[in-house]
Amino acid sequence: MSFALIFSGQGTQHAAMLPWLAEDEHVAGMRERLGVHDWRRSLEDPAWAANNANAQTLLTGLALAAWGQLAPMVPPPAAVAGYSVGELAAFSTAGVFDTATATALAPPRAAAMDKSAAQMPGGLLAINGLAESALAQLRADTGLAVAIRNGIESVVLGGPTEALEQAQRIAEGEGGQCTRLKVNVASHTPWMREAAERFAQALADLPFQSPRIPLFSNAGDRVRDAGAARAALAAQIAQTVRWDECMENIAARQVRCVLEIGPGQALTRMWNQRYPAIPARACDDFRSATAIASWLRTHSDD
């Protein structure tokens, strides 16, 4: 059985996500850390859902809970990667640190980013359908940075709020499809450089291990040892998420299928468009953990 796990980032969290997820110690711990009784009801409040600290803590806790409930039914994955904050769950799954460390890292990561955001309010704008030359001109006109690179004509730009609004008007006028993500910080751009430095300090004294499973980073290609893991996890806060390269690295492992853990199907759609011969599904597509395990066995058995 050969499959890859990819962990979603924030921006598409919703109250109906992971409908099959059972209450367990990881979910309970996440709720306690957030101070909420019903996380689904909390997500119905757009302001609460978009809050950086809430989103990062919730998504990390739920992703680890989901994989914890699936893992006993399937063998270890052949490759792992996480999209933005999804790296916390990915690094834990690969054995770099335990689940308690991953969930404990979400709040200081968010706090470091919020501190930088307070100095420069901003956000993220997903743009699809513009040619590379048009995107380059758009960046030159607005001063925005590429926060996430999903493909040649699919990027997420980050920067100040006014510049994002200007970019959306221009891009839509040129036929681009735009979506403002449910985040309030310019993640993965130079505006987060101080946040990356603060998070690096938080990581400095934590015990990291070399990955036990092939692990691919947003900022540093394959992560092979503890030092590279520590550097990559901090660096991606202020550097472009090179998700296109993560997908290429996973495909090179010759996996037979891919499973997305997290909210929505955004990573699944990107994968299936790029690698239609290697099927991908999202956990949000299923109604039970047993059904997910069955799909993995059907599509990844040699």
114-163 pLDDT, tens per residue? 999 898 889 999 999 999 999 999 999 999 999 999 988 889 999 999 99
Using one digit for the tens of pLDDT, what is the confidence trace for 156-196? 999 999 999 999 999 999 999 999 987 889 999 999 999 99
- Does residue 132 sit in the same domain as residue 207? no
The model's pTM: 0.93
Number of domains into which the chain is organized: 2
Please report the sign of the dihedral spanned by the C-alpha atoms of residue 166, residue 172, residue 178, residue 179. Answer: positive
Q: Residue 67 is part of a domain; what is its CATH number?
A: 3.40.366.10
- Does residue 247 sit in the same domain as residue 157? no
Closest among 92, 51, 87 to 188, alpha carbons compared: 87
- Does residue 131 sit in the same domain as residue 238? no
- Does residue 146 sit in the same domain as residue 196? no
- Does residue 156 sit in the same domain as residue 173? yes
Q: Residue 144 is part of a domain; what is its CATH number?
A: 3.30.70.250
**Contacts of 58 by beta carbon, 8 Å cutoff, 6+ apart:** 13, 30, 34, 39, 43
The residue range of the domain holding 9 is: 3-118+189-300
Which of 180, 208, 224 terminates a domain? The answer is: 180
- Does residue 195 sit in the same domain as residue 71? yes
- Does residue 259 sit in the same domain as residue 155? no
Strands 154-160 and 221-223, by their bridges, are: unpaired
Number of Cα atoms under 13 Å in the Cβ half of residue 140: 6
- Does residue 27 sit in the same domain as residue 155? no
- Does residue 102 sit in the same domain as residue 219? yes
Burial-class residue 67 by CB neighbours within 10 Å (0-12, 13-18, 19+): buried
- Does residue 13 sit in the same domain as residue 41? yes
pLDDT category at 68 given cuts 50, 70, 90 is: very high
Q: How far is CA 128 from CA 68, 124, 149, 154, in A?
A: 34, 13, 11, 5
* Residue 84 Ramachandran class (φ > 0 left, ψ -120 to 50 alpha, else beta): left
**Tokens 């751009």 appear where?**
189
> What pLDDT shows up at residue 1?
62
- Does residue 110 sit in the same domain as residue 130? no
- Does residue 149 sit in the same domain as residue 38? no
- How far apart CA 208 and CA 200 sit, in angstroms, is 13
Which of 180, 197, 216 terminates a domain? The answer is: 180
Using one digit for the tens of pLDDT, what is the confidence trace for 251-272? 999 999 999 999 999 999 999 9
